[in-house]
Every structure is written in C-alpha cells, then in structure tokens.
Amino acid sequence: MAIKPKPNDNTVTPAPEKEGPLQFRNNPEVQKRLDAYKVANAGDVEYYTRVVREAPERARDMLLYKDMQRHETDMRLIEKQLPQAKAFYNAQPQEVKSRIDQRLEGVQPYYKDKAFVGEVLREMNRQNRQMLTGPKPGMAMSAG
C-alpha cells in the first residue's frame, strides 16, 4: 500500500519526469511453485505470453479482473460483518468512535465499508488485549 501524503502537506514533490525501471521482489519458494504450475499448464503459459505480447491492454484487464474478483469475494464477507460492526461501533463511547472515525479519514468511498470493518475489528482486538493484560478483578496489587 502506498503512503499517501496528507492533503495539507506542502512538502509533496512532483513525480520525476522519467520513471525508473520496475523493480520486483523475488521469493524463491513462490517462484518454485509457479515454475511447477507453468510446467503443468504449458498451454496457459503460451496463451498468456501471446496475450501480453499482442494485446497488452487485454492482459492488463485480465489481471485487474482477477483482482476485482478477489475484492468482490472480500466484500461478500464484509457485507456479512457490517451489521455487527455497526452495532459494536454504536455501543462504544464517543472517545472510541472518534478514534475509529479518525482512522477512516481519507479512505476512498469504494473501500469505506472494508476499512470500517477492519477498524472495528482492530478496536475489538485492542479492547480484548486490554482485558487480558489488565489486573484481575478482586486481586490486590502487592507492594514488593
């Protein structure tokens, strides 16, 4: 995820006129699995290679379509979680609501529900950790 500058940040510098070459991470374990998959699916490798060469716009759209499908799958889960997340949010004191709202500032509307559920889950986790790490009820602190 790219780091976005704050809207009032005056230190933003314009992008360089010529971008450098793309740099990719290389994970040998993933590459090994991918190589085995390519051997087993040689026809697909040939097809995708041809699409990239002859119709790069189509190749781009194919990749974006897979990303969109993953997003839609994520959103089906988010839609199931959203009512409970809203109920949790509404039951919180204003301090907690403000903390969640602050974290959601600047989120694109397209991702607002997903970010909201994520922040509610983060807050629930934070509250659960506090319960686990706080003093046990009825136990006095010993001075030692």
Integer Cα distance of 109 and 98 in angstroms: 18
Integer Cα distance of 129 and 123 in angstroms: 10
Summarised one tens digit per residue, pLDDT across range 31-53 is: 999 999 999 999 999 999 999 99
Integer Cα distance of 121 and 52 in angstroms: 40
Amino acid at site 78: I
Which residues lie closer than 8 Å to 103 by C-beta, 6 or more apart?
115, 119, 122
- pLDDT at residue 32, as a whole number: 96
**Given a cut of 70, is residue 105 above it in pLDDT?**
yes
- pLDDT at residue 132, as a whole number: 81
For the chain, give the percent of residues with pLDDT over 90. Answer: 72
Q: What's the Cα-to-Cα distance from 28 to each of 33, 34, 40, 45, 105, rounded to whole Å?
A: 9, 10, 18, 19, 38
Burial 62-93 (b: 16+ CB within 10 A, else e): eeeeeeeeeeeeebeebeebbeebeebbeebe
Residues counted in the chain: 144
Integer Cα distance of 47 and 40 in angstroms: 14
Confidence category of residue 19, pLDDT binned at 50, 70, 90:
confident
